[in-house]
Homo-oligomer: A and B are copies of this chain.
Amino acid sequence: MSGFNKVVGSYEEAMAGLEDGMTVIAGGFGLCGIPEGCIAQIKKMGTKELTIVSNNCGVDGFGLGILLEDKQIKKMVSSYVGENKLFEDQLLGGELEVELTPQGTLAEKMRAGGAGIPAFYTATGYGTPVGDGKEVREFDGRKYIMEEAITGDFAIVKGWKADTYGNVIYRHTAQNFNPMAATAGKITIVEVEEIVEPGELDPTQIHTPGIYVDRLIQGTFEKRIEQRTVRA
């Protein structure tokens, strides 16, 4: 039997079941560690009215930015979205909704979603527009706001290596939001640079255990750099 083999052979198969109006949680920070292949597949499928939960929305022509071209995104839940022109146009034109969420709160909302924690309290955003309409509560003399968990119909994740069981490790700072995204999808798809056999990864060094992963695909990645800074 297939047992725990999560490998699929195509991005069509990887993203099968995605429908208009669904919520997709995406790993990545800026253009670092983004699931390039899954995003391209969503563009190809033309799925519309999507809510995308991702720290950023790519740039013009790359990353999640390409989903703006055909107006596939209805709403972004992000901490920072100011990298592209189409985004700005659609936002100002009222075609796109944005729910700005502090970066740490966003990471924690994803983790909570995956971990069965429906809500938590944080001081982040108290007394700011982020706290508007949210429950305020005092603990030990300090004020906190209640934030609710996020889950997605799909989660799309970029890993470095994975075994066929879906045990994933990330490379350097391409880890970022990916481990939390992986836990928070009803269906979690991980695309990686290399798929290895079970047993090749050290069990104590796995960032995302295979239990969170539904589909695994090997991709190729452009890995565009947003701010190429070098020293002599």
| B120 contacts A117, C-beta separation under 8 Å | yes
Q: Given known contacts A139-B148, A148-B139, is B172 in contact with A204 (CB within 8 Å)?
A: yes
Q: Pull 13 A–B residue pairs with CB atoms less than 8 Å apart, ordered by A.
A: A108-B115, A108-B117, A112-B120, A116-B122, A116-B123, A117-B122, A118-B139, A119-B120, A119-B121, A119-B139, A120-B120, A139-B148, A205-B205
Number of interface residues of A (CB under 8 A): 25
Cα distance A116–B119 in the bound complex, in angstroms: 14
CB-based nearest B residue for A174: B204
CB-based nearest B residue for A173: B204
Report chain B residues within 8 Å CB of A116. Answer: 122-123
Cα distance A148–B137 in the bound complex, in angstroms: 12
> Does any Cβ of B come within 8 Å of A169's Cβ?
yes
Cα distance A137–B119 in the bound complex, in angstroms: 10
Give residues 8-27 of A contacting B (CB, 8 Å).
Answer: none
Q: In whole Å, how far is A151's beta carbon from the nearest beta carbon of chain B?
A: 10
- The contact string, 1 if C-beta is below 8 Å from chain B, for chain A 170-204, is 11100100000000000000000000000000011
Cα distance A120–B118 in the bound complex, in angstroms: 8
Report chain B residues within 8 Å CB of A137. Answer: 119
CB-based nearest B residue for A172: B204
Q: In whole Å, how far is A192's beta carbon from the nearest beta carbon of chain B?
A: 15
Report chain B residues within 8 Å CB of A112. Answer: 120
Cα distance A142–B119 in the bound complex, in angstroms: 12
> Does any Cβ of B come within 8 Å of A165's Cβ?
no
Cα distance A118–B142 in the bound complex, in angstroms: 10
> Does any Cβ of B come within 8 Å of A87's Cβ?
no
